[in-house]
Amino acid sequence: MTRTTESQPETLSLFITGTDTGVGKTLVSAALLHALSRYHARVVGMKPVAAGTEECADGVPANDDVLALRAASTCAVPPGLDNPVLLPDPVSPHIAAARAGIRIDIAHLVACHQALAQLADAVVVEGAGGFHVPLSATETGADLAQALGLPVVLVVGLRLGCLNHALLTAEAIRARGLTLAGWVANQVDPAMLAQDDNIAFLQQRLQAPLLARIPHLRVPDPLAVQFHLPPAWQ
């Protein structure tokens, strides 16, 4: 969590990462914002680095993940705070940044988060891709997470190979000195066999609470996700 000033209450901040790209981090982040809004008046999502844009009706480029987080937030903030780095190409951030001639500055991203914490009661920060997604030739999303120092929520996409990916990611999170505050099981592959067995295994091995189990959703709907929030987040 991140403290603001002595005269203000503590701001709850969480970092959302995934076992891979395409596992539902944005769905989980938006759902978590809705869940937190039942206890906190001002909740806001943050996507520090977003890669891939489309032109909106007003002619302004936008990223779908960023728009989803804004729709789930209860307060509007300057776009330079909730999405400091917006990259045109839908590729790995280090490649997209190089193509755009942009250097991703982790210190700047941390400063933007600190500014958001002054404006909100709860901040949900969605990372890009998997935990170690490259942000530059020398830094990754893990470096960003470590610099932020926030409790981490891991989104596990339930599909073949997820056990290995989940355990490796949890190990990487803890190796950075971060707290794995909980995890979410998202049924991204409706045909996956032995889903209950996989979830039971991860409940034993991840040593963190299962915050939500999301069935396969043909149309992702954050309002359809039921979160079990720890008392400290309420």
Helices (H) and strands (E) in the chain, counts: 8, 10
Tokens at residue 23, please?
């596992």
Contact 69, 63 (CB under 8 A): no
- Residues with catalytic roles: 47
Say if residues 123 and 33 touch (Cβ distance below 8 Å). no
Q: Do 166 and 129 contact (CB within 8 A), yes or no?
A: no
Decide: helix, strand or coil at residue 178. Answer: coil
> What SS3 class is residue 95?
helix
* Distance in angstroms (rounded) separating the CA atoms of residues 212 and 88: 32
Instruction: Measure the CA–CA gap between 116 and 30, rounded to whole angstroms.
Output: 17
Q: What is the 3-state secondary structure (H, E, C) of 192-232?
A: CCCHHHHHHHHHHHCCCCEEEEECCCCCCCHHHCCCCCCHH
169 closest CA partner among 158, 185, 153: 153
